[in-house]
Structure 1
Protein backbone atom coordinates (compact mmCIF):
# COMPACT_ATOMS: atom_id res chain seq x y z
CA UNK A 1 0.00 0.00 0.00
CA UNK A 2 1.33 3.44 -0.94
CA UNK A 3 1.72 5.98 1.82
CA UNK A 4 3.00 9.45 2.54
CA UNK A 5 3.84 11.17 5.81
CA UNK A 6 2.46 14.15 7.69
CA UNK A 7 5.78 15.87 7.01
CA UNK A 8 5.03 15.66 3.28
CA UNK A 9 1.86 17.69 3.88
CA UNK A 10 3.76 20.24 5.95
CA UNK A 11 6.18 20.87 3.08
CA UNK A 12 3.60 20.74 0.28
CA UNK A 13 1.11 23.16 1.86
CA UNK A 14 3.56 25.15 4.00
CA UNK A 15 1.75 24.27 7.22
CA UNK A 16 2.79 25.51 10.65
CA UNK A 17 3.34 22.83 13.30
CA UNK A 18 1.74 23.65 16.67
CA UNK A 19 2.19 20.22 18.26
CA UNK A 20 3.57 16.76 17.52
CA UNK A 21 6.85 17.81 15.92
CA UNK A 22 8.28 14.39 16.78
CA UNK A 23 5.39 12.58 15.07
CA UNK A 24 5.62 14.11 11.61
CA UNK A 25 6.57 10.70 10.25
CA UNK A 26 3.04 9.44 10.95
CA UNK A 27 1.90 7.73 7.76
CA UNK A 28 -1.17 8.65 5.73
CA UNK A 29 -2.76 5.87 3.69
CA UNK A 30 -6.23 7.30 2.95
CA UNK A 31 -6.79 9.63 0.00
CA UNK A 32 -9.71 11.59 1.45
CA UNK A 33 -9.79 13.94 4.43
CA UNK A 34 -12.51 14.19 7.08
CA UNK A 35 -14.20 16.98 9.04
CA UNK A 36 -15.12 15.62 12.51
CA UNK A 37 -18.52 17.24 12.97
CA UNK A 38 -20.68 14.34 14.14
CA UNK A 39 -17.79 13.00 16.22
CA UNK A 40 -17.68 16.18 18.30
CA UNK A 41 -21.26 15.52 19.37
CA UNK A 42 -20.61 11.88 20.20
CA UNK A 43 -21.35 9.86 17.05
CA UNK A 44 -18.41 7.57 16.25
CA UNK A 45 -20.05 4.71 14.33
CA UNK A 46 -18.46 5.71 11.01
CA UNK A 47 -15.45 7.71 12.18
CA UNK A 48 -12.65 7.29 9.57
CA UNK A 49 -9.78 7.33 12.04
CA UNK A 50 -7.06 6.81 9.40
CA UNK A 51 -7.90 10.00 7.53
CA UNK A 52 -6.43 13.48 8.00
CA UNK A 53 -8.85 15.46 10.18
CA UNK A 54 -9.72 19.00 9.06
CA UNK A 55 -10.98 21.61 11.52
CA UNK A 56 -12.53 24.62 9.86
CA UNK A 57 -14.22 27.70 11.24
CA UNK A 58 -17.42 25.79 12.06
CA UNK A 59 -15.65 23.15 14.14
CA UNK A 60 -13.37 25.58 15.93
CA UNK A 61 -16.22 28.00 16.70
CA UNK A 62 -18.21 25.12 18.17
CA UNK A 63 -15.31 24.11 20.40
CA UNK A 64 -14.73 27.68 21.57
CA UNK A 65 -18.35 27.91 22.74
CA UNK A 66 -18.14 24.82 24.95
CA UNK A 67 -17.30 24.92 28.62
CA UNK A 68 -13.78 23.88 29.53
CA UNK A 69 -14.98 20.56 30.94
CA UNK A 70 -17.24 19.79 27.95
CA UNK A 71 -14.47 20.73 25.52
CA UNK A 72 -12.07 18.40 27.29
CA UNK A 73 -14.52 15.53 26.86
CA UNK A 74 -15.32 16.27 23.20
CA UNK A 75 -11.72 16.60 22.11
CA UNK A 76 -10.57 13.74 24.28
CA UNK A 77 -13.05 11.40 22.59
CA UNK A 78 -11.52 12.17 19.19
CA UNK A 79 -7.78 12.26 19.98
CA UNK A 80 -8.26 8.88 21.66
CA UNK A 81 -8.45 7.36 18.15
CA UNK A 82 -5.05 8.82 17.14
CA UNK A 83 -5.72 10.06 13.60
CA UNK A 84 -2.58 10.86 11.53
CA UNK A 85 -2.92 14.61 12.19
CA UNK A 86 -5.25 17.57 12.60
CA UNK A 87 -5.15 20.54 10.22
CA UNK A 88 -6.80 23.80 11.27
CA UNK A 89 -7.73 26.20 8.46
CA UNK A 90 -9.20 29.05 10.52
CA UNK A 91 -6.00 30.31 12.19
CA UNK A 92 -4.30 29.36 15.44
CA UNK A 93 -5.95 31.88 17.75
CA UNK A 94 -7.41 30.31 20.88
CA UNK A 95 -6.19 26.76 20.15
CA UNK A 96 -4.18 26.32 23.36
CA UNK A 97 -6.55 23.64 24.64
CA UNK A 98 -6.35 21.65 21.38
CA UNK A 99 -2.57 21.98 21.34
CA UNK A 100 -2.44 20.58 24.86
CA UNK A 101 -4.49 17.50 23.90
CA UNK A 102 -2.36 16.83 20.80
CA UNK A 103 0.87 17.11 22.79
CA UNK A 104 -0.44 14.64 25.35
CA UNK A 105 -1.51 12.12 22.71
CA UNK A 106 1.43 12.69 20.33
CA UNK A 107 -0.73 13.83 17.41
CA UNK A 108 0.58 16.46 14.96
CA UNK A 109 -1.50 19.64 15.04
CA UNK A 110 -0.99 21.75 11.93
CA UNK A 111 -2.40 25.08 10.86
CA UNK A 112 -2.41 26.85 7.51
CA UNK A 113 -0.12 29.88 7.51
CA UNK A 114 -3.03 32.07 6.50
CA UNK A 115 -6.68 31.36 7.36
CA UNK A 116 -8.31 29.60 4.40
CA UNK A 117 -11.84 28.83 3.35
CA UNK A 118 -12.14 25.20 4.38
CA UNK A 119 -14.27 24.22 1.40
CA UNK A 120 -11.46 25.53 -0.87
CA UNK A 121 -8.62 23.91 1.04
CA UNK A 122 -10.13 20.41 1.24
CA UNK A 123 -10.34 19.82 -2.56
CA UNK A 124 -6.69 20.87 -2.94
CA UNK A 125 -5.60 18.49 -0.19
CA UNK A 126 -7.81 15.68 -1.50
CA UNK A 127 -6.41 16.06 -5.02
CA UNK A 128 -2.85 15.91 -3.69
CA UNK A 129 -3.55 12.82 -1.58
CA UNK A 130 -5.34 11.04 -4.44
CA UNK A 131 -2.38 11.53 -6.78
CA UNK A 132 0.25 10.63 -4.21
CA UNK A 133 -1.55 7.52 -2.96
CA UNK A 134 -2.88 6.32 -6.32
CA UNK A 135 -2.03 2.84 -7.55
CA UNK A 136 0.55 3.21 -10.31
CA UNK A 137 2.55 1.31 -12.89
CA UNK A 138 5.31 2.27 -15.32
CA UNK A 139 5.12 1.36 -19.02
CA UNK A 140 7.38 1.93 -22.02
CA UNK A 141 6.26 4.39 -24.68
CA UNK A 142 5.47 8.04 -25.23
CA UNK A 143 2.67 10.04 -23.65
CA UNK A 144 1.33 13.10 -25.49
CA UNK A 145 -1.47 15.60 -25.08
CA UNK A 146 -2.96 15.97 -28.57
CA UNK A 147 -5.53 18.75 -28.87
CA UNK A 148 -6.42 18.28 -25.21
CA UNK A 149 -6.65 14.47 -25.51
CA UNK A 150 -4.23 12.29 -23.53
CA UNK A 151 -2.66 9.72 -25.88
CA UNK A 152 -0.32 6.79 -25.21
CA UNK A 153 1.92 5.92 -28.16
CA UNK A 154 3.32 2.42 -27.79
CA UNK A 155 5.23 -0.04 -29.92
CA UNK A 156 8.42 -2.04 -30.15
CA UNK A 157 11.75 -0.35 -29.63
CA UNK A 158 12.86 1.55 -32.74
CA UNK A 159 9.43 1.60 -34.36
CA UNK A 160 9.33 5.42 -34.36
CA UNK A 161 7.42 6.48 -31.26
CA UNK A 162 9.70 9.37 -30.29
CA UNK A 163 10.01 10.57 -33.89
CA UNK A 164 6.23 10.66 -34.16
CA UNK A 165 6.06 12.54 -30.86
CA UNK A 166 8.55 15.10 -32.18
CA UNK A 167 6.38 15.72 -35.24
CA UNK A 168 3.35 16.19 -33.00
CA UNK A 169 5.27 18.67 -30.82
CA UNK A 170 6.20 20.71 -33.90
CA UNK A 171 2.50 20.78 -34.81
CA UNK A 172 1.70 22.42 -31.48
CA UNK A 173 0.89 19.42 -29.27
CA UNK A 174 2.52 18.67 -25.92
CA UNK A 175 4.90 16.04 -24.61
CA UNK A 176 4.11 14.50 -21.24
CA UNK A 177 6.60 11.63 -21.02
CA UNK A 178 9.07 9.77 -23.21
CA UNK A 179 10.45 6.27 -22.65
CA UNK A 180 9.07 5.72 -19.14
CA UNK A 181 5.41 6.64 -18.62
CA UNK A 182 4.01 6.56 -15.10
CA UNK A 183 0.30 5.69 -15.07
CA UNK A 184 -1.72 6.50 -11.95
CA UNK A 185 -5.20 5.17 -11.27
CA UNK A 186 -7.14 8.09 -9.81
CA UNK A 187 -10.57 6.44 -9.94
CA UNK A 188 -12.25 3.36 -11.45
CA UNK A 189 -12.61 5.36 -14.70
CA UNK A 190 -9.52 7.60 -14.69
CA UNK A 191 -5.89 6.95 -15.55
CA UNK A 192 -3.42 9.83 -15.29
CA UNK A 193 -0.23 9.77 -17.37
CA UNK A 194 2.91 11.54 -16.19
CA UNK A 195 6.71 11.24 -16.19
CA UNK A 196 9.13 9.82 -13.62
CA UNK A 197 10.83 13.20 -12.91
CA UNK A 198 14.19 12.04 -14.31
CA UNK A 199 12.89 12.17 -17.89
CA UNK A 200 10.80 15.32 -17.42
CA UNK A 201 10.85 17.50 -20.59
CA UNK A 202 13.29 15.12 -22.37
CA UNK A 203 12.72 13.40 -25.70
CA UNK A 204 15.24 10.88 -27.08
CA UNK A 205 15.56 10.75 -30.86
CA UNK A 206 17.59 8.10 -32.64
CA UNK A 207 20.53 9.56 -34.60
CA UNK A 208 20.01 12.91 -32.83
CA UNK A 209 20.21 12.09 -29.12
CA UNK A 210 18.54 13.58 -26.07
CA UNK A 211 16.75 16.91 -26.42
CA UNK A 212 14.91 19.17 -24.00
CA UNK A 213 11.66 20.11 -25.72
CA UNK A 214 11.04 23.13 -23.47
CA UNK A 215 14.46 24.62 -24.26
CA UNK A 216 13.94 23.99 -27.98
CA UNK A 217 10.26 24.81 -28.46
CA UNK A 218 9.18 26.70 -25.34
CA UNK A 219 6.82 25.92 -22.47
CA UNK A 220 3.96 25.14 -24.86
CA UNK A 221 5.77 21.93 -25.87
CA UNK A 222 5.39 20.21 -22.50
CA UNK A 223 2.84 19.55 -19.79
CA UNK A 224 3.28 17.69 -16.53
CA UNK A 225 0.40 15.23 -16.74
CA UNK A 226 -2.70 14.32 -18.74
CA UNK A 227 -5.74 12.09 -18.41
CA UNK A 228 -5.24 9.07 -20.67
CA UNK A 229 -7.98 8.73 -23.27
CA UNK A 230 -6.49 6.77 -26.17
CA UNK A 231 -3.90 3.98 -26.43
CA UNK A 232 -2.27 3.85 -29.88
CA UNK A 233 -0.01 0.97 -30.86
CA UNK A 234 2.45 1.57 -33.70
CA UNK A 235 3.32 -1.57 -35.68
CA UNK A 236 5.29 -2.44 -38.79
CA UNK A 237 3.47 -2.47 -42.11
CA UNK A 238 1.85 -5.76 -43.08
CA UNK A 239 0.33 -6.03 -46.53
CA UNK A 240 -3.40 -6.66 -46.58
CA UNK A 241 -3.55 -6.38 -42.79
CA UNK A 242 -5.35 -3.02 -42.66
CA UNK A 243 -9.08 -2.86 -42.22
CA UNK A 244 -11.20 -0.70 -44.50
CA UNK A 245 -14.49 -0.85 -42.64
CA UNK A 246 -16.24 2.49 -42.27
CA UNK A 247 -16.56 1.98 -38.52
CA UNK A 248 -13.81 0.12 -36.67
CA UNK A 249 -14.81 -2.14 -33.81
CA UNK A 250 -13.61 -0.60 -30.56
CA UNK A 251 -10.90 -2.51 -28.70
CA UNK A 252 -9.51 -1.72 -25.26
CA UNK A 253 -6.31 -1.99 -23.27
CA UNK A 254 -6.65 -2.69 -19.56
CA UNK A 255 -4.51 -0.62 -17.19
CA UNK A 256 -5.07 -1.47 -13.51
CA UNK A 257 -8.68 -2.38 -14.23
CA UNK A 258 -9.44 0.72 -16.31
CA UNK A 259 -10.24 0.03 -19.97
CA UNK A 260 -8.71 2.55 -22.39
CA UNK A 261 -9.87 2.63 -26.06
CA UNK A 262 -7.02 1.41 -28.25
CA UNK A 263 -6.15 1.18 -31.92
CA UNK A 264 -3.32 0.05 -34.16
CA UNK A 265 -1.56 2.26 -36.71
CA UNK A 266 0.76 0.55 -39.18
CA UNK A 267 3.90 2.32 -40.30
CA UNK A 268 5.06 2.75 -43.87
CA UNK A 269 7.44 5.25 -45.48
CA UNK A 270 5.51 8.36 -46.43
CA UNK A 271 2.56 7.63 -44.18
CA UNK A 272 1.61 10.62 -42.01
CA UNK A 273 1.46 8.83 -38.66
CA UNK A 274 1.33 12.06 -36.64
CA UNK A 275 -1.59 13.21 -38.76
CA UNK A 276 -3.39 9.92 -38.16
CA UNK A 277 -2.92 10.30 -34.41
CA UNK A 278 -4.34 13.82 -34.62
CA UNK A 279 -7.30 12.45 -36.56
CA UNK A 280 -7.84 9.67 -34.03
CA UNK A 281 -7.83 12.15 -31.12
CA UNK A 282 -10.20 14.57 -32.84
CA UNK A 283 -12.52 11.77 -33.97
CA UNK A 284 -12.70 10.43 -30.40
CA UNK A 285 -13.58 13.90 -29.14
CA UNK A 286 -16.40 14.23 -31.69
CA UNK A 287 -17.81 10.86 -30.63
CA UNK A 288 -17.86 12.04 -27.01
CA UNK A 289 -19.89 15.02 -28.20
CA UNK A 290 -22.40 12.64 -29.78
CA UNK A 291 -21.25 12.80 -33.40
CA UNK A 292 -20.40 9.67 -35.39
CA UNK A 293 -19.24 10.08 -39.00
CA UNK A 294 -20.14 6.49 -39.98
CA UNK A 295 -23.67 6.87 -38.61
CA UNK A 296 -24.15 10.09 -40.55
CA UNK A 297 -22.83 8.41 -43.72
CA UNK A 298 -25.21 5.45 -43.33
CA UNK A 299 -28.14 7.80 -42.68
CA UNK A 300 -27.35 9.60 -45.93
CA UNK A 301 -27.29 6.28 -47.81
CA UNK A 302 -30.62 5.27 -46.29
CA UNK A 303 -32.14 8.63 -47.12
CA UNK A 304 -30.90 8.34 -50.70
CA UNK A 305 -32.33 4.82 -51.03
CA UNK A 306 -35.69 5.95 -49.66
CA UNK A 307 -35.69 8.87 -52.07
CA UNK A 308 -34.88 6.58 -55.00
CA UNK A 309 -37.63 4.18 -53.96
CA UNK A 310 -40.18 6.96 -53.72
CA UNK A 311 -39.26 8.31 -57.15
CA UNK A 312 -39.45 4.80 -58.64
CA UNK A 313 -42.95 4.26 -57.24
CA UNK A 314 -44.24 7.58 -58.52
CA UNK A 315 -42.97 6.90 -62.05
CA UNK A 316 -44.90 3.61 -62.37
Structure 2
Protein backbone atom coordinates (compact mmCIF):
# COMPACT_ATOMS: atom_id res chain seq x y z
CA UNK A 1 0.00 0.00 0.00
CA UNK A 2 1.36 3.40 -0.96
CA UNK A 3 1.98 5.90 1.80
CA UNK A 4 2.95 9.51 2.20
CA UNK A 5 3.96 11.27 5.39
CA UNK A 6 2.63 14.13 7.49
CA UNK A 7 5.68 16.09 6.41
CA UNK A 8 4.47 15.84 2.80
CA UNK A 9 1.27 17.62 3.84
CA UNK A 10 3.23 20.29 5.71
CA UNK A 11 5.24 21.06 2.57
CA UNK A 12 2.33 20.84 0.12
CA UNK A 13 -0.05 23.10 2.06
CA UNK A 14 2.53 25.28 3.90
CA UNK A 15 1.16 24.20 7.29
CA UNK A 16 2.50 25.50 10.59
CA UNK A 17 3.61 22.83 13.07
CA UNK A 18 2.45 23.51 16.65
CA UNK A 19 3.32 20.13 18.13
CA UNK A 20 4.73 16.72 17.23
CA UNK A 21 7.70 17.91 15.17
CA UNK A 22 9.46 14.58 15.82
CA UNK A 23 6.49 12.65 14.38
CA UNK A 24 6.24 14.29 10.97
CA UNK A 25 7.24 10.98 9.40
CA UNK A 26 3.95 9.45 10.55
CA UNK A 27 2.57 7.54 7.55
CA UNK A 28 -0.71 8.45 5.84
CA UNK A 29 -2.31 5.66 3.82
CA UNK A 30 -5.96 6.74 3.61
CA UNK A 31 -7.14 9.03 0.83
CA UNK A 32 -9.96 10.69 2.79
CA UNK A 33 -9.86 12.94 5.84
CA UNK A 34 -12.19 13.02 8.83
CA UNK A 35 -13.78 15.69 11.06
CA UNK A 36 -14.06 14.20 14.60
CA UNK A 37 -17.32 15.82 15.64
CA UNK A 38 -19.20 12.77 16.89
CA UNK A 39 -16.07 11.45 18.56
CA UNK A 40 -15.80 14.57 20.74
CA UNK A 41 -19.27 13.84 22.10
CA UNK A 42 -18.50 10.20 22.81
CA UNK A 43 -19.46 8.19 19.69
CA UNK A 44 -16.56 6.02 18.50
CA UNK A 45 -18.28 3.14 16.67
CA UNK A 46 -17.04 4.18 13.24
CA UNK A 47 -14.05 6.37 14.10
CA UNK A 48 -11.54 6.15 11.19
CA UNK A 49 -8.44 6.50 13.34
CA UNK A 50 -6.04 6.03 10.42
CA UNK A 51 -7.24 9.19 8.65
CA UNK A 52 -5.99 12.76 8.94
CA UNK A 53 -8.27 14.57 11.43
CA UNK A 54 -9.53 18.04 10.49
CA UNK A 55 -10.72 20.54 13.09
CA UNK A 56 -12.66 23.51 11.77
CA UNK A 57 -14.44 26.37 13.45
CA UNK A 58 -17.34 24.13 14.45
CA UNK A 59 -15.19 21.61 16.33
CA UNK A 60 -12.88 24.18 17.93
CA UNK A 61 -15.77 26.39 19.09
CA UNK A 62 -17.37 23.35 20.72
CA UNK A 63 -14.14 22.50 22.55
CA UNK A 64 -13.71 26.10 23.72
CA UNK A 65 -17.15 26.02 25.36
CA UNK A 66 -16.42 22.95 27.49
CA UNK A 67 -15.19 23.11 31.04
CA UNK A 68 -11.50 22.41 31.58
CA UNK A 69 -12.13 18.94 32.99
CA UNK A 70 -14.70 17.97 30.37
CA UNK A 71 -12.41 19.19 27.60
CA UNK A 72 -9.56 17.10 29.02
CA UNK A 73 -11.74 14.00 28.91
CA UNK A 74 -13.19 14.64 25.45
CA UNK A 75 -9.85 15.34 23.80
CA UNK A 76 -8.16 12.54 25.71
CA UNK A 77 -10.70 10.06 24.37
CA UNK A 78 -9.79 11.05 20.80
CA UNK A 79 -6.00 11.40 20.97
CA UNK A 80 -5.60 7.98 22.58
CA UNK A 81 -6.28 6.47 19.14
CA UNK A 82 -3.16 8.21 17.74
CA UNK A 83 -4.37 9.42 14.32
CA UNK A 84 -1.60 10.49 11.90
CA UNK A 85 -2.13 14.19 12.69
CA UNK A 86 -4.62 16.96 13.45
CA UNK A 87 -5.02 19.95 11.13
CA UNK A 88 -6.79 23.07 12.40
CA UNK A 89 -8.22 25.41 9.73
CA UNK A 90 -9.53 28.29 11.87
CA UNK A 91 -6.33 29.68 13.38
CA UNK A 92 -4.21 28.73 16.39
CA UNK A 93 -5.74 31.05 18.98
CA UNK A 94 -6.75 29.26 22.19
CA UNK A 95 -5.32 25.88 21.20
CA UNK A 96 -2.94 25.57 24.17
CA UNK A 97 -4.93 22.69 25.66
CA UNK A 98 -5.00 20.78 22.36
CA UNK A 99 -1.28 21.36 21.87
CA UNK A 100 -0.65 19.92 25.36
CA UNK A 101 -2.49 16.69 24.51
CA UNK A 102 -0.67 16.34 21.18
CA UNK A 103 2.73 16.87 22.80
CA UNK A 104 1.97 14.22 25.42
CA UNK A 105 0.76 11.69 22.84
CA UNK A 106 3.33 12.51 20.14
CA UNK A 107 0.75 13.53 17.54
CA UNK A 108 1.54 16.31 15.01
CA UNK A 109 -0.74 19.32 15.43
CA UNK A 110 -0.80 21.46 12.29
CA UNK A 111 -2.49 24.76 11.48
CA UNK A 112 -3.16 26.44 8.16
CA UNK A 113 -1.15 29.65 7.77
CA UNK A 114 -4.36 31.64 7.35
CA UNK A 115 -7.87 30.69 8.51
CA UNK A 116 -9.66 28.80 5.74
CA UNK A 117 -13.18 27.61 5.03
CA UNK A 118 -12.92 24.06 6.32
CA UNK A 119 -14.97 22.44 3.55
CA UNK A 120 -12.81 24.09 0.88
CA UNK A 121 -9.61 22.95 2.55
CA UNK A 122 -10.95 19.39 2.83
CA UNK A 123 -11.74 19.32 -0.90
CA UNK A 124 -8.18 20.36 -1.74
CA UNK A 125 -6.63 17.95 0.75
CA UNK A 126 -8.80 15.02 -0.34
CA UNK A 127 -7.92 15.65 -4.00
CA UNK A 128 -4.21 15.68 -3.15
CA UNK A 129 -4.42 12.49 -1.09
CA UNK A 130 -6.44 10.63 -3.74
CA UNK A 131 -3.84 11.38 -6.41
CA UNK A 132 -0.82 10.70 -4.21
CA UNK A 133 -2.15 7.44 -2.78
CA UNK A 134 -3.72 6.13 -5.97
CA UNK A 135 -2.77 2.74 -7.39
CA UNK A 136 -0.56 3.39 -10.40
CA UNK A 137 1.32 1.75 -13.26
CA UNK A 138 3.74 3.04 -15.87
CA UNK A 139 3.14 2.22 -19.54
CA UNK A 140 5.14 2.89 -22.68
CA UNK A 141 3.37 5.38 -24.89
CA UNK A 142 2.31 8.99 -25.28
CA UNK A 143 -0.47 10.79 -23.43
CA UNK A 144 -2.23 13.75 -25.05
CA UNK A 145 -5.16 15.99 -24.30
CA UNK A 146 -7.02 16.28 -27.60
CA UNK A 147 -9.78 18.89 -27.56
CA UNK A 148 -10.22 18.36 -23.84
CA UNK A 149 -10.24 14.55 -24.11
CA UNK A 150 -7.45 12.46 -22.60
CA UNK A 151 -5.93 10.05 -25.13
CA UNK A 152 -3.33 7.35 -24.50
CA UNK A 153 -1.40 6.52 -27.67
CA UNK A 154 0.35 3.14 -27.68
CA UNK A 155 2.36 1.16 -30.21
CA UNK A 156 5.67 -0.60 -30.77
CA UNK A 157 8.89 1.39 -30.53
CA UNK A 158 9.50 3.36 -33.71
CA UNK A 159 5.92 3.19 -34.95
CA UNK A 160 5.51 6.97 -34.81
CA UNK A 161 3.81 7.79 -31.51
CA UNK A 162 5.94 10.84 -30.70
CA UNK A 163 5.81 12.14 -34.28
CA UNK A 164 2.02 11.90 -34.17
CA UNK A 165 2.03 13.71 -30.83
CA UNK A 166 4.15 16.49 -32.36
CA UNK A 167 1.62 16.96 -35.16
CA UNK A 168 -1.20 17.11 -32.61
CA UNK A 169 0.69 19.73 -30.57
CA UNK A 170 1.12 21.89 -33.67
CA UNK A 171 -2.62 21.64 -34.22
CA UNK A 172 -3.25 23.13 -30.79
CA UNK A 173 -3.56 20.04 -28.59
CA UNK A 174 -1.56 19.41 -25.42
CA UNK A 175 1.16 16.96 -24.47
CA UNK A 176 0.89 15.28 -21.08
CA UNK A 177 3.64 12.65 -21.24
CA UNK A 178 5.98 11.07 -23.76
CA UNK A 179 7.67 7.68 -23.58
CA UNK A 180 6.68 6.86 -19.97
CA UNK A 181 3.05 7.52 -19.08
CA UNK A 182 2.08 7.14 -15.44
CA UNK A 183 -1.51 5.94 -15.02
CA UNK A 184 -3.25 6.46 -11.68
CA UNK A 185 -6.51 4.82 -10.67
CA UNK A 186 -8.55 7.51 -8.93
CA UNK A 187 -11.81 5.55 -8.77
CA UNK A 188 -13.34 2.35 -10.21
CA UNK A 189 -14.21 4.39 -13.34
CA UNK A 190 -11.35 6.89 -13.56
CA UNK A 191 -7.78 6.60 -14.84
CA UNK A 192 -5.57 9.69 -14.71
CA UNK A 193 -2.63 10.02 -17.08
CA UNK A 194 0.45 12.02 -16.10
CA UNK A 195 4.24 12.13 -16.50
CA UNK A 196 7.03 10.83 -14.26
CA UNK A 197 8.51 14.33 -13.57
CA UNK A 198 11.80 13.50 -15.34
CA UNK A 199 10.15 13.66 -18.78
CA UNK A 200 7.86 16.60 -17.95
CA UNK A 201 7.40 18.88 -21.02
CA UNK A 202 9.82 16.79 -23.11
CA UNK A 203 9.06 15.09 -26.43
CA UNK A 204 11.64 12.82 -28.07
CA UNK A 205 11.66 12.76 -31.88
CA UNK A 206 13.83 10.40 -33.89
CA UNK A 207 16.39 12.22 -36.07
CA UNK A 208 15.67 15.49 -34.22
CA UNK A 209 16.28 14.74 -30.56
CA UNK A 210 14.68 15.97 -27.37
CA UNK A 211 12.27 18.92 -27.56
CA UNK A 212 10.88 21.04 -24.74
CA UNK A 213 7.38 21.69 -26.08
CA UNK A 214 6.72 24.57 -23.67
CA UNK A 215 9.87 26.41 -24.78
CA UNK A 216 9.05 25.78 -28.44
CA UNK A 217 5.27 26.20 -28.56
CA UNK A 218 4.31 27.96 -25.33
CA UNK A 219 2.55 26.95 -22.14
CA UNK A 220 -0.59 25.96 -24.05
CA UNK A 221 1.31 22.98 -25.52
CA UNK A 222 1.52 21.09 -22.21
CA UNK A 223 -0.58 20.08 -19.21
CA UNK A 224 0.34 18.03 -16.15
CA UNK A 225 -2.43 15.44 -16.22
CA UNK A 226 -5.62 14.37 -17.94
CA UNK A 227 -8.36 11.81 -17.42
CA UNK A 228 -7.85 8.97 -19.91
CA UNK A 229 -10.99 8.54 -22.00
CA UNK A 230 -9.63 6.83 -25.11
CA UNK A 231 -6.89 4.31 -25.86
CA UNK A 232 -5.35 4.47 -29.35
CA UNK A 233 -3.17 1.61 -30.58
CA UNK A 234 -0.98 2.44 -33.57
CA UNK A 235 -0.08 -0.61 -35.66
CA UNK A 236 1.64 -1.32 -38.96
CA UNK A 237 -0.47 -1.46 -42.09
CA UNK A 238 -1.97 -4.86 -42.93
CA UNK A 239 -3.58 -5.43 -46.30
CA UNK A 240 -7.29 -6.18 -45.90
CA UNK A 241 -6.93 -5.41 -42.20
CA UNK A 242 -9.28 -2.43 -42.20
CA UNK A 243 -13.03 -2.63 -42.18
CA UNK A 244 -15.57 -0.16 -43.47
CA UNK A 245 -18.50 -1.18 -41.31
CA UNK A 246 -20.84 1.69 -40.53
CA UNK A 247 -20.43 1.22 -36.79
CA UNK A 248 -17.36 -0.57 -35.54
CA UNK A 249 -17.72 -2.60 -32.36
CA UNK A 250 -15.99 -0.73 -29.53
CA UNK A 251 -13.11 -2.68 -28.00
CA UNK A 252 -11.64 -1.88 -24.60
CA UNK A 253 -8.24 -1.89 -22.93
CA UNK A 254 -8.12 -2.59 -19.20
CA UNK A 255 -5.84 -0.73 -16.81
CA UNK A 256 -5.95 -1.65 -13.11
CA UNK A 257 -9.46 -3.01 -13.57
CA UNK A 258 -10.79 0.05 -15.43
CA UNK A 259 -11.89 -0.52 -19.02
CA UNK A 260 -11.05 2.24 -21.52
CA UNK A 261 -12.52 2.35 -25.07
CA UNK A 262 -9.75 1.29 -27.45
CA UNK A 263 -9.27 1.90 -31.18
CA UNK A 264 -6.63 0.47 -33.52
CA UNK A 265 -5.27 2.81 -36.19
CA UNK A 266 -3.12 1.28 -38.91
CA UNK A 267 -0.26 3.33 -40.31
CA UNK A 268 0.55 3.92 -43.95
CA UNK A 269 2.56 6.66 -45.68
CA UNK A 270 0.32 9.62 -46.38
CA UNK A 271 -2.33 8.63 -43.86
CA UNK A 272 -3.29 11.53 -41.54
CA UNK A 273 -2.94 9.69 -38.23
CA UNK A 274 -3.20 12.87 -36.15
CA UNK A 275 -6.40 13.78 -37.96
CA UNK A 276 -7.81 10.30 -37.30
CA UNK A 277 -7.03 10.67 -33.59
CA UNK A 278 -8.80 14.03 -33.58
CA UNK A 279 -11.80 12.42 -35.27
CA UNK A 280 -11.78 9.50 -32.79
CA UNK A 281 -11.68 11.87 -29.82
CA UNK A 282 -14.48 14.08 -31.16
CA UNK A 283 -16.58 11.04 -32.07
CA UNK A 284 -16.10 9.65 -28.53
CA UNK A 285 -17.32 12.97 -27.12
CA UNK A 286 -20.44 12.92 -29.31
CA UNK A 287 -21.22 9.40 -28.15
CA UNK A 288 -21.06 10.59 -24.54
CA UNK A 289 -23.64 13.19 -25.49
CA UNK A 290 -25.91 10.46 -26.83
CA UNK A 291 -25.24 10.95 -30.55
CA UNK A 292 -24.30 8.06 -32.86
CA UNK A 293 -23.62 8.91 -36.51
CA UNK A 294 -24.25 5.33 -37.70
CA UNK A 295 -27.65 5.26 -35.99
CA UNK A 296 -28.63 8.55 -37.58
CA UNK A 297 -27.51 7.31 -41.00
CA UNK A 298 -29.53 4.10 -40.66
CA UNK A 299 -32.59 6.03 -39.52
CA UNK A 300 -32.35 8.12 -42.68
CA UNK A 301 -32.13 4.98 -44.80
CA UNK A 302 -35.16 3.48 -43.06
CA UNK A 303 -37.12 6.70 -43.39
CA UNK A 304 -36.30 6.83 -47.10
CA UNK A 305 -37.40 3.20 -47.57
CA UNK A 306 -40.64 3.79 -45.70
CA UNK A 307 -41.31 6.89 -47.78
CA UNK A 308 -41.07 4.82 -50.95
Counterpart Cα distance in 2 of 1:19 and 1:77: 18
Counterpart Cα distance in 1 of 2:27 and 2:17: 16
Counterpart Cα distance in 2 of 1:266 and 1:116: 53
Residue 243 of structure 2 corresponds to which residue in structure 1?
243
Residue 57 of structure 1 corresponds to which residue in structure 2?
57
Residue 128 of structure 2 corresponds to which residue in structure 1?
128
Matches within 5 A, 1:98-247: 98-247=98-247
Secondary structure at the residue paired with 1:120? helix
Counterpart Cα distance in 1 of 2:45 and 2:253: 41
Counterpart Cα distance in 2 of 1:65 and 1:286: 56
Gap runs ≥5 in structure 2: none
Residue 32 of structure 1 corresponds to which residue in structure 2?
32
Cα RMSD (Å): 0.3
Residue 256 of structure 2 corresponds to which residue in structure 1?
256
Counterpart Cα distance in 1 of 2:54 and 2:153: 41
Gap runs ≥5 in structure 1: 309-316
Secondary structure at the residue paired with 1:7? helix
Q: Give the deviation of 1:35 after TM superposition.
A: 0.2
Counterpart Cα distance in 2 of 1:41 and 1:194: 43
Q: Give the deviation of 1:243 after TM superposition.
A: 1.1
Q: Give the deviation of 1:79 after TM superposition.
A: 0.1
Secondary structure at the residue paired with 2:193? strand
Are positions 1:271 and 2:276 aligned together? no
Counterpart Cα distance in 2 of 1:286 and 1:254: 22
Which structure has the larger Rg over C-alpha atoms?
1
Secondary structure at the residue paired with 2:177? strand
Q: TM-score, normalised by structure 2?
A: 1.00
- Segments of 4+ moved more than 6 angstroms: none
Secondary structure at the residue paired with 1:280? helix
Are positions 1:307 and 2:300 aligned together? no
Counterpart Cα distance in 2 of 1:242 and 1:83: 58
- Give the length in aligned residue pairs: 308
Deviations 1:18-69 (A, max 9, x none): 0000000000000000000110110000000000000000000000000000
Deviations 1:267-288 (A, max 9, x none): 0000000000000000000010
Counterpart Cα distance in 1 of 2:108 and 2:57: 19
